Structure 1
Amino acid sequence: MKTLCILVLCCSLTCQAADFIAVTESMPPMQQELDGQVCGENVELVQQIVSKAGLSAEFRLYPWARAYKMAQQQANTLIFAMARTPEREKRFYWIGKLVEFKLGLVRLQQRGEPIQRLEQLKGKTIAVQRDDSVYQWLIKAGFSEGNQLIVAASSEQSWALLANGKVDYVVENPRFLPEIERRTQLDKGALVVDMTIADLSSSAYLAASLATSPALVQRLQQAYQQVME
């Protein structure tokens, strides 16, 4: 992890004008900020792809809605790790899949009774990040802001809302539960998954803005294939 941070730092210091801005949201341990640098498993993989293509990138963490807006509007912008939904298909160039993930309804073990059907969520509150795949899916399912949906700026803010009893649920990857408990100072086993949501099981991708040069996109796609071999 320390080596990765040094690599990203060197890139930001030596490349006065990086070829790309690579944006993402904080989602420890996959992508996070440590000692002022963007690090994590997904960051490392994206850095390998960019380097293999003979290019450079400056990594930045933003709230998801801001990162998503930047990646739609600005040239030479990469975004990760993003679910490849039908609504997004024609809005980006898709470089390649980074990781598979499953999502479930996570709550404090001591709070409330477990639910078994999504209909039971109608009377609950859920922390979400605006414009991410979970938010969009819940909106389509009939949930709304100010009622069931409490919008947070980041995953970590959603975790804090849950830990402090401000919301009933977050929708999160079950593998992150130990990290969430550690970061919110909850006891081990304080969080439980009531149920997984099959519709939100997906693959997370590296993508580029449509304003990016097709030649650069092709270089990244070729580099992706080489890295993933």
Structure 2
Amino acid sequence: MRLLLAAALLLSVLTPAGASGVLIVTEELPPYNYQENGDAKGMATEVVQAVLEETGVDAKIEFYPWARSYRLAQTRKNTLIYSMARIPEREDLFEWVGVITPVATSFFKLTANKEIKVNSLEDARKYSIGVSLENVNYLYLKGKGFTNLELVGEDLLNMRKLAHGRIDLVPFDEASFYYQVRRDGMDAAMFEPAYRLEDLSRFLYMAFSKSSDPDLIERFRQGLQSVKDDGTYDRILMRYSLMN
């Protein structure tokens, strides 16, 4: 009996957020969500943290590659994921809490490559496009019938491939793209937006796994609305706009 109790206690310690507690998952997507000296940072992260404070929920934010976070948010009860675009392909896969940040997405190309011209989504079919596994850009373009997609596991790999001319285009959030290439030591002037993807230029959300407790989901929805009503949300967004 003592061995069983000890094993149960050890399991509760090793399991993230416990077997039934709230787990929050995300990826490295600065300036929205990223880690700095082991601490969760970023504009979207601050909104999530404000909601946690408002609801009184104690939960740790875990950073994983997007594909792993995405799987956890589809398979584990009481799992919250952010920052995620809300597109038709995802609509029924999650319980949506609400908007946490605005977002703008464009195809990026090398500034020096004057041969690449994209004036419509159809024009992009002529070029090789770098996308990441389970990323919204991949799901969106795949849903539009694109077959010229080169798939990798991490966003930064696509930026490096673009820098070396191994692919022609990378669809990505505009603020995050420039943030990440600078952090990787690349000259941001090497790249320029070629075409704005309006369908993906709206908002990023937080959402729960479908199996999550309905009361918990509603608690977070109300918490998010409260931080918007009291001005906390606008103050977070304003601070980051001034920083950029």
**TM-score > 0.5 by shorter chain:** yes
Q: How many residues align?
A: 212
Amino acid at match of 1:220: F
| Aligned counterpart for 1:134 among listed residues 115, 134, 137 | 137
Deviation at 1:102, TM superposition (A): 1.7
> 1:108-147 counterparts in 2 under 5 A?
108-113=110-115, 114-144=117-147
Q: Deviation string for 1:162-219 (max 9, x for gaps)?
A: 2232221111122334313312323242211111012222321111112111111121
Q: TM-score, with normalisation over the residues of structure 2?
A: 0.79
Kept after mapping to 2: 8 A contact 1:19/1:56: no
Structure of higher CA gyration radius: 2
What is the alpha-carbon root mean square deviation over aligned residues? 2.0
Amino acid at match of 1:139: K
Q: Where do 4+ consecutive residues of structure 1 move more than 3 Å? A: 15-19
| Aligned counterpart for 2:80 among listed residues 78, 81, 93 | 78
**Aligned equivalent of 1:197:** 197
The secondary structure found in structure 2 opposite 1:57 is coil
**Structure 2: unaligned runs, 5 residues or longer:** 1-15, 230-244
User: Which moves more between the two structures, 22-31 or 149-158?
Assistant: 149-158
The alpha-carbon distance between structure 1 residues 16 and 184, as it changes in their structure 2 partners (threshold 3 A), is closer
The secondary structure found in structure 1 opposite 2:60 is strand
Q: TM-score, with normalisation over the residues of structure 1?
A: 0.84
| Aligned counterpart for 2:34 among listed residues 29, 32, 35 | 32
**Structure 1: unaligned runs, 5 residues or longer:** 1-14
Kept after mapping to 1: 8 A contact 2:163/2:190: no
Q: 1:16, 1:195 → 2: CA distance?
A: 41
Q: 1:128, 1:36 → 2: CA distance?
A: 27
**Aligned equivalent of 1:209:** 209
Q: 2:26, 2:41 → 1: CA distance?
A: 11
Kept after mapping to 2: 8 A contact 1:23/1:80: yes
